[in-house]
Structure 1
Amino acid sequence: MKKLQEFAKNYQAEMNWEIRTDNYERTRSSLLNNYMLLTTEVAEIAEELRKAFNHTNTLINDGMDEDGAFETAKDSFRENIGKELADCIAYITKFANYFEVDLEDSFYQKMEEVRNRKNKDVGVMKR
């Protein structure tokens, strides 16, 4: 993850896509804009899932068993979902780099926190 964050930092600088830091208003505006772009990418994941489920239902209606239909749909939409996930990671790393957050350390710390919760639901990841 550290290598990914470093790559993203350099790539975003090369593309002139960093969060602006000229002054408070530019920084605030840049952070909000990037947050909106991140939420757009998350919505695009949902759109790809919707397409995959619709494709699954079409295959089921054409006589394929549910599991086979879903596996076929997963194969068909894997690349697009991967691209949308990558877009999300790009924005998440941008925020992490701006706030000087080590995503790898934060991830493992958060997972340990969740593991040790007293009120956790079994089999469900909650924030």
Structure 2
Amino acid sequence: MKDLQAYMKDYQKEMGWEINEENYFKTRESLLNNYMLLTTEVAEFAEELRKIFNLTQQGILNGLEQEEAFLRAKESAREDIGKELADCLAYLLKFYNYFDLDLEESFYGKMKEVRERKNKDF
């Protein structure tokens, strides 16, 4: 994870995609813009899920068993889902880097916190 985070920091700098830190208003605008871009990518991932469910339904209507229809639909969207999730990850890493957070430390710390919760969902 550390290598990925460092790679993205360099990549964003190379591409000129860093969060603007010129002054408060430009930083605020840049953070909000990047947040909107992240939510757009999350929506594009949701669209891929919708395609999978529609293709599954179409397969069922064409005589496939439910599980087979779903497996085929999932496989047909695999590459596009990977691209959309990569876009999401890129924006998340931009925020991690801007706020000088360690992705690995944050992730494992949060998973430990969830594991130890008293009010776990079942």
Runs of 4+ in structure 1 over 6 Å off: none
Per the alignment, residue 94 of structure 2 pairs with: 94
Per the alignment, residue 46 of structure 2 pairs with: 46
- Give how far 1:97 is off: 0.2
Q: Which runs of 5+ in 2 are unaligned?
A: none
Q: Tell me the C-alpha RMSD between the 2 structures.
A: 0.5
- Give how far 1:14 is off: 0.7
Q: Which runs of 5+ in 1 are unaligned?
A: 123-127
Residue type of the alignment partner of 1:25: F
Query: Does 2:53 correspond to 1:58?
Result: no
- Give how far 1:56 is off: 0.5
CA distance in 1, matches of 2:3, 2:18: 18
The one-character-per-residue Cα deviations of 1:47-105 (angstroms, maximum 9, x if unpaired) are 00000100000000000001011010110001001000000000000000000111111
Residue type of the alignment partner of 2:70: F
TM-score, normalisation: structure 2:
0.99
TM-score, normalisation: structure 1:
0.95
CA distance in 2, matches of 1:89, 1:74: 20
Query: Does 2:2 correspond to 1:2?
Result: yes
Residue type of the alignment partner of 1:83: K
Query: Does 2:18 correspond to 1:14?
Result: no
CA distance in 2, matches of 1:104, 1:95: 14
The count of residues paired between Structure 1 and Structure 2 equals 122
Per the alignment, residue 125 of structure 1 pairs with: none
CA distance in 1, matches of 2:84, 2:3: 20
Query: Does 2:32 correspond to 1:32?
Result: yes
